[in-house]
A and B are shown apart, each in its own frame.
Chain A
Amino acid sequence: MTVLKDTRVTVVRAGDVVVKAHPEDTDEAALTARLRAAAELPGVLLPPLAVRAQRVAGRLVTLWPAGEPVDPSDPYAAPWEAAAVLLARLHDVPTGGLALPPAGGPARPARAVALLDGLDGAYAAPAGVIREAFHSLPPGATVTGPGAGRLTHGDWHLGQIVRYDGEWLLIDVDDLGAGTPAWDLARPAAWFATGFLSPDLWERFLAAYLGAGGSAVPHGDPWRELDVPARALTVQLAATAVAAAGAEGRPLDDVEQALVSSCGRIIRTAPQRGRVRPV
């Protein structure tokens, strides 16, 4: 048995089966709807072994076939195109018949920013920049709701695809729901905007998404739809990273500093109307 993850969720692999214990506050009806959606979308989402969660020691637990994750050693070799095509297919699914809750993406930035509250005073300056960037987001940008009403993953990154039975599939339905699909492209967009993701990898990903008929962004001007969710994801990434540095009691590394710098630029380029200044 191998423990794959032990954070808010616990993921354990035993042979060909992956067992996932969901967070304690998980809504069972929402999780069941999400499991059913995964079971009904072969070729897009990894199907669960059972469409009902079980309760073990108070936690909801789901069972999945074990897939092969992306090799983290070489980002260039990662299946960017396959991932983009999966997201394009996901965004093409009408949510009408699936009775899904709203996608979880927009709720995440506020949760991440709240992690800054308990930090030592040594992190006050970066935490202040991140909070101001969060408050500069347009009103309503980080409110959970059905958004554009399209099927949206809600927490996509390269750890959220596995190869199973010869094909790449999306995993992790915890934030799956009706939403604004540009949020699923917002994390790589934030990596690109902060200077981590090279323009050629970003272009490969975006071109594959658009080439597969992806509907989240317009062909000519993808940043029209990406700008706000990518700002929000940058704030979320910065808050998560600075909170992690704070928890370890170490100075910010280059990556964390670059994310805080991005937050500074987000504040300086915020539309004035949406800007809330601390009094």
Chain B
Amino acid sequence: MRCPKCSGSMRTYDRNGVHIEQCENCRGIFLDYGELETLSRVESQWAQQQYTSPPSQHGGPAWGAPHHGQRGHHQQRSWVGMLFSS
């Protein structure tokens, strides 16, 4: 197969069930019908695996403590001072 852009020769790769033709000259990529959709689907599955459920309605940071608000009452007493000072 010839590249539709520069007429270089194209080489076929198989990545996770997706056929990709790449031009050896200009590095352009040709996808068969439905292959772009397959890539999008694989990408969204990957994104879902990375996503962990947020600890609250407005989420939390990546570095947040694993158990928000689960501290004992004795601990709560000792951090209250921090609420009121610089």
Is residue B80 within 8 Å, beta carbon to beta carbon, of the partner chain?
Answer: yes
* A202, B56: Cβ atoms closer than 8 Å: yes
For B66, the chain A residues whose CB sits under 8 A away are: 195
Write out the residue numbers on chain A whose beta carbons fall within 8 Å of the beta carbon of B46.
none
Asked if B63 is at the interface (CB within 8 A of a chain A CB), the reply is: yes
Nearest chain A CB to B57's CB is how many angstroms away? 6
Residues of the A chain whose Cβ atoms lie less than 8 Å from the Cβ of B68: 192, 195, 198-199
Chain B's interface: helix, strand, loop or mixed, by majority?
loop
Nearest CB of chain B from residue A187's CB, rounded to whole Å: 9
Q: Which of B59, B82, B86 contacts A191 (CB 8 A)?
A: B82
Residue count of chain B within 8 Å CB distance of chain A: 28
Quick check: B75 and A255 within 8 Å, CB to CB? yes
Say whether A144 faces chain B, with CB atoms less than 8 Å apart. Answer: no
Once the chains are docked, how many angstroms separate the CA of A125 from the CA of B69? Answer: 26
Partner of A196, one of B58, B63, B79, B84: B79
Q: Enumerate B63-77 residues with CB–CB distance to A below 8 Å.
A: 63-71, 75-76
Contacts of A269 in B (CB 8 A): 61-63
Q: What total of chain A residues lie within 8 Å of the partner, measured CB to CB?
A: 44
Say whether, besides A221-B59, A258-B65, A157 and B75 are in contact (CB < 8 Å). Answer: no
Is A25 close to B, CB under 8 A? Answer: no
Any B CB within 8 A of the CB of A70: yes
Complex contacts, B81 vs chain A, CB 8 Å: 72
Count how many pairs of residues, one from A and one from B, have CB atoms less than 8 Å apart in the complex.
101
In-complex Cβ contact of A197 among B58, B69, B84, B85 (8 A): B69
Contact of B59 among A195, A198, A222 (CB under 8 A): A222
Query: How distant is the Cα of A245 from the Cα of B79 in the complex, in angstroms?
Result: 14
Complex: A189 Cα to B57 Cα, angstroms: 14
* B44: A residues at CB distance < 8 A: none
Distance between A162 CB and nearest chain B CB, rounded to angstroms: 12
Are B59 and A237 closer than 8 Å at their CB atoms? Answer: no
Per-residue 0/1 for A184-218: is the Cβ within 8 Å of any B Cβ (1 yes, 0 no)? 00000101111111111111001000000000000
Does chain B have a CB within 8 A of A253? Answer: yes
Interface contact A157-B83, CB-CB below 8 Å: yes
List 19 A–B pairs whose Cβ atoms lie within 8 Å, in order of A's numbering. Answer: A70-B84, A72-B84, A108-B86, A155-B86, A159-B83, A193-B64, A193-B65, A194-B64, A196-B82, A199-B55, A199-B56, A199-B68, A221-B59, A223-B58, A253-B78, A254-B71, A254-B75, A262-B65, A266-B63
Question: What is B's interface to A at a CB cutoff of 8 Å?
Answer: 55-71, 75-76, 78-86
